[in-house]
Amino acid sequence: MRFLFVVPPLAGHVNPTIAVANELGVRGHEVAWCGPGEVLAWLLPPNARIHPAGKDGDLGALHLRWGHLRGVAALKFLWEEALVPLARDMVPGVAAAVEAFRPDVVIADQQAFAGGIVARERGLPWATSATTSAEFTRPFRGFPKIGQWVRERLDGLLGEFGAGTGWDPRFADDLVIIFSTPVLVGEGGFPAHYLFVGPALGSRASVVAAPDFPWERLAPGRRRILVSLGTLNGQAGARFYPAVMEATEDLDVQVVLAAPAELTGTVPRHVLVQEHVPQLLLLPHLNAVVSHGGHNTVCESLAHGLPLVVAPIRDDQPIIADQVVAAGAGVRVRFGRARVPELREAIGAVLDEPRYRAGARRVQASFAAAGGAAAAADRLEGLTSPPFQRGARCRDRSA
């Protein structure tokens, strides 16, 4: 069978698909990816089959414009300057990939709308890859005008491609794979085709080259924490990083700080600064994590039973932070106004109070039971069950 992953040029959205693709490959299936080619070539394993779609563009420049925005302004920028233009640019490439690769199933990332648009138009079974769970908590429930504004953006995009309106390319009718569990997201009476698999970690640590890391500098016998604002938010930490370093001076911990060196200033002896860290390899050596609330970092930390201090910046991060708190797996602090005493208290709490580690371990257990990449592969294989036949689909497409 053939499976086509349609993804945006973002590491956090691509990484879970690698583990699922590995599992499908082990089972003898063919796998390919579709998205901006240059970025995917950097994010994916060297032997990955890539069908380019959309412009690679200057993501750095786009992020600089978006980085200082918060709230509704950040949401509008995300949709008007990133998600809708990305979909518009990707549709022709995704259509070409479908013709060339002839997949049995399309797996479209929740922010790669082109995948659902093309799959639906071609009559192909398709699944959603949901790498953040925020959309499943009804984020606009108290803000109906914002929800309506998003709906109008989607209908406008669908209308451009004659795809009809009133349906949502973020949520496939056949299968929605969510890389979390209800223990973290919250019980919500989800439809039967919503599949919670937990984080799909798989063998990604071995297929994605890890940067050099000075393992010998990890202090034996000391508690360790990782401080990371993710791949897109590092430049936002100019005030946050020094506050964390000062807050941890009296806690008898070693801090691994993933940050640009130019933003850290004078680094105390208990802090090890690395611009990039091999996160999955590092997590088993830690006692806690301080994060911005990115879905992947949070779920990877909880998959290792690590409690969190979460300092959300924008977008879905406040929702993910609230999930962590509700699960009893960590503490939320204010990113923009976090002061040294607040940070010291929060970090000390997740290190010293057993209830936070117990909460993290409850989530960890739910992740392990959910099945990860193997569970996702099981359901994806089910989408190709008879009477679906690739030949019939291909004849339909050419009619």
Hey, what are 244's tokens? Answer: 């964390």
- What does pTM read for this prediction? 0.88
Distance in angstroms (rounded) separating the CA atoms of residues 134 and 54: 26
DSSP E strand stretches across the chain: 2-6, 30-35, 50-52, 105-109, 126-130, 175-178, 194-196, 223-228, 253-258, 271-274, 288-291, 308-310, 330-332
In Å, what is the CA distance from 50 to each residue of 178, 209, 343?
24, 18, 43
pLDDT for 59 equals: 55
The CATH class, in words, for 2-198+371-398 is alpha beta
Residue 219 CB coordination number (10 Å): 12
Query: Which phi and psi angles does 217 have, rounded to 5°?
Result: -90, -5
pLDDT for 142 equals: 60
Question: In the chain, which stretches have pLDDT less than 70?
Answer: 57-71, 139-143, 202-211, 231-236, 385-399
**Boundaries of CATH 3.40.50.2000 in the chain?**
2-198+371-398, 211-369
String of DSSP letters for 136-159 = GG-TTTT-HHHHHHHHHHHHHHHH
- DSSP state letter for 209: P
Domain at 211-369: CATH code: 3.40.50.2000
**336, 340, 342, 347: CA torsion to nearest 10:** 110
Count CA atoms closer than 13 A to 394's CA, side-chain side. 12
Query: What residues contact 142, with CB distance under 8 A and at least 6 apart?
Result: none
